[in-house]
Amino acid sequence: MEKKYDGFSEKRMHIFGELVRKYWNGNLNSSDDLLALAIEIKEKYGFDDKDIPFIKNHIRVAMGMDPKDDSDFREALDLVRNSKEIGPPVVAKIEGPCEQCSEAHCKGKEVCKYEAHVYKRKKGPVIVNNKCISCGHCVTSCDFGALADKIEFLPVVDLLKEKKVPVYAVVAPAIVGQFGEEISMGQLRTAMKLLGFKDMIEVALFADILTIKEAFEFNHLVKTEADFFLTSCCCPVWFNMTKKNYPEIYAKMSPSVSPMIASGRILKKLYEGSRIVFVAPCIAKKAEIKELGLKGAVDFVLNFRELLEIFKALDIRPETLTGDEKDQASFGGRVYARTGGVSFSVKTVVNRLEPSRLIKLKAKKVHGVTSCKDVLQALSEGRDIHANFIEGMGCEGGCIGGPRTNIPMEKAFRLVNDFGEDSLIMTPFDNLNVMKILKQLGINKIEEIVDNAELAQLLTRD
């Protein structure tokens, strides 16, 4: 394998950072400017003239566009400026590296953790999109730039700078510590406001709302020792695996949308005309916002690694900023970021709703694609797994082990737990912010969370 492709993940972030810096400062105005950037990247990393199409395609993908055979930049900037969304597919195949790659590099590698023919190596990777569960593992497994997920920020730049509509950043609970252990959520909120966001909101607040909904659903559906219930919260990998491959088990899954989708739907209901950008450790979330029935709730998704590069490119240093601290979510909502968090949170509410319940919530918590598949297979075969509430998360450790995190999982686990414990709100049931939102939606009692038709439309999959 030629050295110039080695470690391309970091080179790709440099490309993205340069795009952000130039576009933000008004220095990207023509196809010639984009070509100049491609030549700059070629010279910086020792590529050859024949590699220019490869570099151009990575520029296109970093702009949120599909690669092209001729790598033409004509109309590229106009497409970005007029873009209201980034179209599917999320993951793009880019020609070039596979032709230089040795068989030894890919041979024996577990490129697709799902053990299906989603990814297969011929001349290069082939992705079968109707079978792909969007875990993103194939992208992070290839460090030579043959696969890349589209980056959804350049259209956001125009929204932030024009200030015609309010743009809210909604952040996954796994964000804690991702930009420095000593950087508070309040400092990140200030940094996001410097970028032009109206506010930064914890998606854990909407996880609290969905926790209460799923607790009511569990109490309604699990009446005997033989009954069981699958949470649909958080993880699109878990949801897609169940829906696409275990339809008989899918019938036992909660109809709730993820906290991300709930946040977008509710915020757009409360703040008409607003745009929503979700920030996560995940590639699969980019695919989730494009799904039929979910589309329109959230406009763009950024990941932690991309946001770090944005801060660098625009010289925003959160550690130097005064924190705008807010206590928005409960301990339970905040620990959704790690394996077992959903189960813990739902159980606290189930116990509050029915303290004398005879059939107690017994959770099975699995993480990693293989373990998720194993438990679904066991359920489909009728094997007893000694649980009635099943939580699955596609990444090892949960969201803190996502493919686009900035810090090790073990460190993230500690910081997420510490942040959860710092909340003044212990359970979703105690979160007055939840009740404030519900009242704005015309709901006066917590029990109406499952009976109110308008709220059901916001919290349920179409």
Model confidence pLDDT, tens digit, residues 44-88: 999 999 999 999 999 999 999 999 877 678 888 998 998 889 999
Taking the C-alpha atoms of residue 186 and residue 171, their distance in angstroms, rounded to an integer, is 12
Q: 154, 180, 200 — which closes off a domain?
A: 154
40 shares its domain with 59: yes
Q: Find, among 105, 79, 316, 286, the residue nearest to 197 by Cα.
A: 316
Distance, CA of 232 to CA of 240 (rounded, Å): 10
pLDDT (average), residues 124-138:
68
- Mean pLDDT over all residues of the chain? 90
In this structure, is residue 33 part of a structural domain? Answer: yes
As for how many domains the chain has, the answer is 2
CA 1, chain centre distance (Å): 32
Residue 1 pLDDT > 60: no
Q: What is the pLDDT of residue 71?
A: 67
Give the separation between CA 92 and CA 62, rounded to whole angstroms: 11
Task: With a cut of 60, say whether residue 333 has pLDDT above it.
Answer: yes
Rg (CA), the chain: 22
pLDDT for residue 28 is more than 80? yes
155-164, 233-242, 266-275, range with the lowest pLDDT: 233-242
The pLDDT value given to residue 74: 82
State whether residue 440 is helix, strand or coil: helix
Per-residue pLDDT, averaged over 433-447, amounts to 91
Give percent of the chain with pLDDT exceeding 70.
92
Which residue, 325, 342, 324, is CA-closest to 428?
342
Supply the pTM of this predicted model.
Answer: 0.93
Closest by CA to 253, choosing from 244, 261, 265, is 244
pLDDT in the model for residue 117: 38
Lowest mean pLDDT among 140-149, 250-259, 299-308, 421-430: 140-149
Q: In which domain, by residue range, is 105 found?
A: 3-154
Q: Is residue 347 part of a domain?
A: yes
β-strand pairing of 389-393 with 229-230: parallel
Q: Is the pLDDT of residue 115 over 50?
A: no
β-pair partners for 200: 169
Residue 384 resides in a domain: yes
Write down the pLDDT at residue 113: 53
Of 104, 133, 154, which residue is a domain's last? Answer: 154
Q: Which of 114-118, 236-240, 393-397 has the lowest mean pLDDT?
A: 114-118
Look at residue 249 and tell me if it is in a domain: yes
Residues 243 and 196 in one domain: yes
Q: Which of 250, 236, 222, 249 is nearest to 378 (CA)?
A: 249
**Where a domain ends, among 154, 173, 205?**
154
For 102-117, b where at least 16 C-beta lie within 10 A, e where not — what string? eeebbeeeebbbbeee
pLDDT confidence tier of residue 9, bands split at 50, 70 and 90: confident
Q: Residues 284, 305: one domain?
A: yes
Per-residue confidence (pLDDT) for residue 107, from 0 to 100 = 47
What value does the mean pLDDT take over residues 219-228?
A: 93
Banded pLDDT at 38 (limits 50, 70, 90): very high
Residue 84, burial from CB neighbour count under 10 angstroms (0-12, 13-18, 19+): exposed
Beta strands 167-171 and 199-202, pairing class: parallel
pLDDT value of position 127: 64
Q: Which of these, 277, 279, 280, 284, lies nearest to 392 by C-alpha position?
A: 284
Give me the pLDDT at residue 293, please: 93
Q: 100 with 185, same domain?
A: no
Question: Do 121 and 250 lie in a common domain?
Answer: no
Assess if residue 159 is contained within a domain. no
Query: Given this model, what pLDDT does residue 131 score?
Result: 67
Q: Is residue 453 part of a domain?
A: yes
- Per-residue pLDDT at 139: 81
| pLDDT higher than threshold 50 for residue 128 | yes
Say whether both 184 and 145 belong to one domain: no
Band of the pLDDT at 103, cuts 50, 70, 90?
Answer: low
* Ramachandran sector of residue 412 (left: φ over 0; alpha: ψ -120 to 50; beta: rest): alpha
**pLDDT, tens digit (0-9, with 9 covering 90-100), for 178-217:** 999 999 999 999 999 999 999 999 999 999 999 999 999 9
Same domain, yes or no: 138 and 179: no
At residue 123, the pLDDT reads: 55
Predicted confidence at residue 116, as pLDDT, reads 43
- Looking at per-residue confidence, does 447 or 333 come out higher? 333
> Residue 101: what pLDDT?
66
Are 98 and 245 found together in one domain?
A: no
For residue 160, being part of any structural domain is answered with no
Domain match, 54 and 182 both: no
Return the C-alpha torsion angle 157, 161, 167, 172, nearest 10.
40
State whether 54 and 118 are in the same domain. yes
When pLDDT is cut at 50, 70 and 90, the band that residue 8 belongs to is confident
Closest CA to 297 of 283, 281, 276, 279: 276
Helix ranges restricted to H, 276-408: 284-288, 304-313, 331-334, 341-353, 369-380
* Exposure class string for 279-316: b at 16+ Cβ within 10 A, else e: bbbbbbbbbbbbbeebeebbbbbbbbbbbbbbbebbeb
Per-residue pLDDT for 21 more than 60?
yes
In this structure, the answer to whether residues 188 and 48 fall within a common structural domain is: no
One domain, residues 187 and 304: yes
Q: Is the pLDDT of residue 234 over 80?
A: yes
DSSP 8-state assignment for residue 295: T
Do the domain assignments include residue 208? Answer: yes
In the chain, % of residues over pLDDT 90 = 75
